[in-house]
Amino acid sequence: MSNHKQAGKNRRLGHNVERMSGNEGCFLKEKLQTFISLVFIIVLLPVGVKGQTTTPVTPAGPPPAQPAVYGSGVQTPLRYAGEAAPANQLSLSMGASAFYDDNVFQRNSQRLGDEAASFDSHLILSRQTENLTVSFDYSPYFVLYRQVDQFNRLNHVADLNLTYRLGSHFNLGLFDTSSYQDGVFQSLTGQQIMSGLGSPTALNQTTFPYTIRTLSNSSELDLTYVKSHRTSLTLSGGYSQRKFGSQVEVSQPLNNNIGENGSFEYQYRITERTTLALLLMHQDTTYKGGEVFGNDLRVQNESAFVTVGSRLSPTVTVTVFGGPQYVHTIGGSAAGIAGQFQPSGGGSITKEVGNTAVDVSGQRSVSDGGGIYTSVVYSTATIRVRRRLVGRWEVNWQGGATRADASLFQSTSRRTDGVIGDFGLDRPLSRGSVFHISYETSHQSSKGNLLISAPFDRNRVTVGIDYQLKAISLGR
C-alpha cells in the first residue's frame, strides 16, 4: 500500500457479516468501478512535464524522513531500514489458502468449527510523477467453507490514495477506502503490517458485533497550502458510512452510521527532524438502529489536538498528541443529555533497523462503537513486529488490547473489551511465489446485558501460497 504522505490515509476497513441487500451490493460495485476508471484515466493523462521520478513527491508536507503528525491519517507499512516500496508499477498477485476456523458464527453459545479454502487476488497500482502521486489497492477474495455455506461469498477491499500538485503552493488530496465483506478476519493475502497512528475519523476496526455482512466506506478531500518549507495549512472534508446486512437470530439491531467531518490543520517544522501541528476538527455522525437511544441518534464531536512528531535518530521516530474533545447530541431521545468534554491523547514509537522493525502505539479518543454502540470512548494499545530469520524466513507479529466504553452519555455502564493477535511466517519460493503460515486470534467480552455483543473467542490457522502473476513497469 501507499507509503508516502502526507498522501496516505491508510485506513484498512472490514467487519462482520451475514447478509446485505442488493442495493448495497450495487453501491460497492459502482464505487469500485469508479475507483478503477479514475485511476486509469489519471495514469493515462499527461500530468507530468519532466517524466516520472523514483521517489514520492510530497510537497504538501515534510520530506520522507519526517514523521507524520496525528490527523494526517498516515499509517505507512512497517519496513526495515533502507527497504523501499515498489514505485511506478502495476502488479497482480493471486493466492490460495486452506484454514481452520474454530468459531465461524463468532458466538460461544453457538460454537461451530469448520475447514475452509480462500482464493485471493491483489491488484496494486503505484504511480509517481512530478505533479502526481497515486496508489490504488484492490483485493477481492472468495471464502469457501465446507459446512457453513452462508459465508461462501465474494468479498472486496479497495483503497485509493491520490495527491496532485495544483501549483507551486497548492496540493489536492483524495482518499477513499471501501470494503464489503464478512467476518472478523479479512483477506489472507497482501496484508501489510502498518506503523503509526490511524486517522481520527477512521471507523472502529476492533470492536466486533456478531458476524454479519458489512459495507463500509470512508472518503476525504484535502486542500493544502504550502506557505514555505516550514509551514503548511490544510483544509479537509470527509464522509463515512457503515451499513449492516439483514440480521438473523438476534432481536437487537446494530447501529448503522453516516458521518461527515471537516478539519483545519496547521503544521510548522521546528527543526529538520521535528514538526509541530495543531488540528481543529468537527465530526457529525447519525446512528440508525440500536436499542439505547431508539432508532435515531445524532452525535457531534468538536476536537482540538496538538501533535509533535520527531525523528530521534536515523532509525527511531516518535509521535505524541493530546487535546480535548467536546461531545454532544442533537435531536432524538438523547437530546436532553448534556454535552461533555473528554480528554484524548496517545502516541507511537517506531524503530526500523536492518533485520527488525518494531512499532508500539496507543491512544484514547471518541470513536464510533463498531455497530454495537453509538459513540464510545475508545482506547487501544498495539505492538507490531517484523523480523528476518535464517533461511529467507520472515516472522510478522502484531497484537493489541482495546476497550469501547459506552458510558459517554451517562446512561449506561456497558463496555466491550477485546484482545486481538496475529502471528505469521513467510518464506519466498521460486518464481515470485511466497509460502505463508499464520495464526490469528480474537477474544471479546462485554459488561452489561447486551445480546449483540455476546462474549466470543475465535481462532484461525492458515497455510497457503501467494504468487505474483505480473508486475508491469510504468516507466520512470
**SS3 of the chain:** CCCCCCCCCCCCCCCCCCCCCHHHHHHHHHHHHHHHHHHHHHHHCCCCCCCECCCCCCCCCCCCCCCCCCCCCCCCECCCCCCCCCCCEEEEEEEEEEEEECCCCCCHHHCCCEEEEEEEEEEEEEEEECCEEEEEEEEEEEEEECCCHHHCCEEEEEEEEEEEECCCCEEEEEEEEEEEECCCCCCCCCCCCECCCCCCCCCCCCCCCCCCCEEEEEEEEEEEEECCCCEEEEEEEEEEEEEECCCCCCCCCCCEEEEEEEEEEEEEECCCCEEEEEEEEEEEEEEECCCCCCCEEEEEEEEEEEEEEEEEECCEEEEEEEEEEEEEEECCCCCCCCCEEEEEEEEEEEEECCCEEEEEEEEEEEEEEECCEEEEEEEEEEEEEEEECHHHCEEEEEEEEEEEECHHHCCCCCEEEEEEEEEEEEEECCCCEEEEEEEEEEEEEEECCCHHHCCEEEEEEEEEEEEEEEEEECCC
Task: State the pTM of this model.
Answer: 0.81
Cβ-contact 165, 133 below 8 angstroms: no
Cβ-contact 312, 387 below 8 angstroms: no
Cβ-contact 159, 10 below 8 angstroms: yes
Rg (Cα) of the chain, in Å, rounded? 22
Side chain identity at residue 14, one-letter code: G
Give the pLDDT confidence score for residue 171 in this predicted structure: 96
Q: What is the pLDDT along the chain (476 residues), one digit of tens a residue?
A: 333 443 343 333 333 333 334 444 444 444 444 444 444 433 333 333 233 333 333 333 333 446 678 887 667 888 888 887 778 889 999 999 999 999 988 888 889 999 999 999 999 999 999 999 999 999 999 999 999 888 888 999 999 999 999 989 999 999 998 999 886 655 555 567 888 888 888 888 888 777 678 899 999 999 999 999 999 999 999 999 999 886 555 556 788 999 999 999 999 999 999 999 999 999 999 988 765 555 678 899 999 999 999 999 999 999 999 999 999 888 655 555 667 899 999 999 999 998 999 999 999 999 988 888 888 999 999 999 999 999 899 999 999 999 999 887 755 678 899 999 999 999 999 888 999 999 999 999 988 766 566 788 999 999 999 998 888 888 76
Give the pLDDT confidence score for residue 33 in this predicted structure: 46
Distance CA 6, CA 196 (A): 13
List CB contacts of 12: < 8 A, sequence separation 6 or more.
157, 159, 177, 186, 194, 205
Distance CA 393, CA 365 (A): 38
Give the pLDDT confidence score for residue 288 in this predicted structure: 86
Give the pLDDT confidence score for residue 184 in this predicted structure: 60
- CATH, range 22-473: 2.40.160
Domain ranges within the chain, ordered by starting residue: 22-473
Cβ-contact 158, 33 below 8 angstroms: no
Distance CA 68, CA 5 (A): 8
Residue 128 is placed in which grid cell?
A: 509517481
